[in-house]
Structure 1
Amino acid sequence: MAAAKVMATVAASNTATAALLFRGPLRRSHGFSLGLNCNSNGLAPKRRLFTCRALYKPEVQIKEEGQPETLDYRVFLVENSGKKVSPWHDIPLHLGDGVFNCIVEIPKETSAKMEVATDEAHTPIKQDTKKGKLRYYPYNINWNYGLLPQTWEDPSFANPEVEGASGDNDPVDVVEIGETRGKIGQIMKVKPLAALAMIDEGELDWKIVAISLDDPRASLVNDVDDVEKHFPGTLTAIREWFRNYKIPDGKPANKFGLGNKPASKDFALKVITETNESWAKLVKRSIPSGELSLC
């Protein structure tokens, strides 16, 4: 695919602007990319987040197709023009100043196992199935649950920090602990606070604990210790929920790496950066995509 060079001036903060040079592959156009250099040879010594071919300041709507709790039900993100976009590939990850976009898949206090369909065009959100039947958690999840766009847990990478477990072939999961119940497909602006290294049947399935910037207590929590102070017991509850939710179905409990403890915000940011880099390699086809949809 031919490379293109586009110089665009974009907002770097509420009070300043910066020019970004995009040299990544433009497989399709959704306005200017927020991207840094998508070519690995052009990376600066300091690791940086990739956001190639993302919508800049995305203005999207949620569009439902089919009836909820049916096999045909899909939740799409669409531009004002009606064009469908991917919540996984087209929504930018990084918003600057440690803030990230998060796509809500499962609203808090619900049990339908909703997830991005990574093998379907435009990667809509659908209810997961097993043997042709819709899947539900055995009990409600107590937090908003979703994904970080433009991240990917590479199944070919055995992480030496987490017992050599390989990625689960999905975007990185987010557990948002704020008080407001989200909506399926909603884009939340969140800041990461901690990370849990869940190991599900040998696969590494990161859980990034975060909070919406709109939450009244968002300014009070900035790292893992703050969560315990202002949301006492929450990190333990999240770990135990994900450890045990498969037991009612007769499966063993999930395990956790990193000494069974939540890692710091800095570690969570490291996970986000690494999985964003893996996603960039995936969409460049530097890594085989298998059945994953890249559009």
Structure 2
Amino acid sequence: MKPNYYVAHPWHGLELGPKAPDELDVFIELTPQDTVKYEIDKASGFIRVDRPQKYSNRSPTLYGFIPRTFSGEASGKHCSEVVGRPDILGDGDPIDICVLSVNPITHGNMILTVIPIGGLRMIDKGEADDKIVAVLKGDEVFGQMKDISEVPKALINKLHHYFLTYKLDPNSPSTGTVEITEVYDRVEAIKVIQFGIEDYIKKFVTV
């Protein structure tokens, strides 16, 4: 294989992997140990400090995104149809992913091979902002799980609570703009990923 002498952009330059969407290579921005919120800088591909985590919330899992996906028209339309509300849009970002691993991985800015097992249908300010849940391939504890129904309820509750509260300021009343309408299974997660791939191709590939 010809070597790549340049660092690939994590969103546009990384491949999904030959078994996508059943098995994916994903990019991790944030770990449970991080006390600040890191996020990819879309223009450069470098990791940027988005904001300090001012309060007690930290991500319960590894957190990042699926390369070459985009939450756009098809993603928003699918969310609208499922929840029965018109005019939900995609949030304009790559599809987010939470990765379960029993072994502590202490820094982000890395690629992992994962297996999707479900997700959280999150809507933020009227935009689809799905959080796919996956297991690290080969993980001794989580790696054998095939569906989110096998994950301990307490861990799903932690994810649920994190995403509903991680933007809140205790000194300001919540405006209720973020909601999670359901926790869905692996079959639905694959659909969400496929719509994200479709939106990416339409946005960045199709001329």
Q: Which amino acid aligns with 2:19?
A: G
Report what 1:94 is aligned to.
Answer: 17
Match of 2:129, SS state, is strand
Report what 2:104 is aligned to.
Answer: 181
Match of 1:214, SS state, is coil
Q: What is the rounded CA distance, in whole Å, between the counterparts of 1:276 and 1:112 in structure 2?
A: 29
Report what 2:154 is aligned to.
Answer: 233
2:121 corresponds to 1:197: yes
2:87 corresponds to 1:127: no
Q: How does 1:217-256 map to 2 (within 5 A)?
A: 217-227=141-151, 231-248=152-169, 250=172, 251-253=174-176, 254-256=178-180
Find the partner of 1:108 among 22, 26, 32: 32
Q: What is the rounded CA distance, in whole Å, between the counterparts of 1:219 and 1:207 in structure 2?
A: 19
2:202 corresponds to 1:281: yes
Report what 1:8 is aligned to.
Answer: none
Change (3 A) 1:209 1:137: farther
Which 10-residue stretch deviates more, 108-117 or 155-164? Answer: 155-164
Q: Give per-residue Cα distances to partners, 1:62-109, cap 9 Å, x unaligned.
A: xxxxxxxxxxxxxxxxx4x2x121110111113317210111100123
Match of 2:197, SS state, is helix
Report what 1:167 is aligned to.
Answer: 90
Q: What is the rounded CA distance, in whole Å, between the counterparts of 1:186 and 1:174 in structure 2?
A: 13
CA drift of 1:170 comes to 0.4
CA drift of 1:137 comes to 5.5
So what's the TM-score if we normalise by structure 1? 0.61
Note the aligned Cα RMSD (angstroms).
2.3
So what's the TM-score if we normalise by structure 2? 0.84
Find the partner of 1:150 among 68, 86, 89: 68
Q: Give per-residue Cα distances to partners, 1:229-286, cap 9 Å, x unaligned.
A: xx332112211211122232524342122xxx31110100000011001101111255
What 5-or-longer segments of structure 2 have no aligned partner?
none
Q: What is the rounded CA distance, in whole Å, between the counterparts of 1:272 and 1:111 in structure 2?
A: 29
CA drift of 1:214 comes to 3.4
Report what 1:140 is aligned to.
Answer: 58
Identity over the aligned pairs, expressed in percent? 23
Larger radius of gyration: 1
Q: Which has the higher contact order (CA 8 A, sep 6+)?
A: 2
CA contact (8 A) 2:60 2:158 kept: no
CA contact (8 A) 2:100 2:142 kept: no
**Count of aligned positions:** 196
Match of 1:181, SS state, is coil
CA drift of 1:180 comes to 2.6
Q: What is the rounded CA distance, in whole Å, between the counterparts of 1:146 and 1:219 in structure 2?
A: 18
What 5-or-longer segments of structure 1 have no aligned partner?
1-29, 32-58, 60-78, 129-133, 287-295
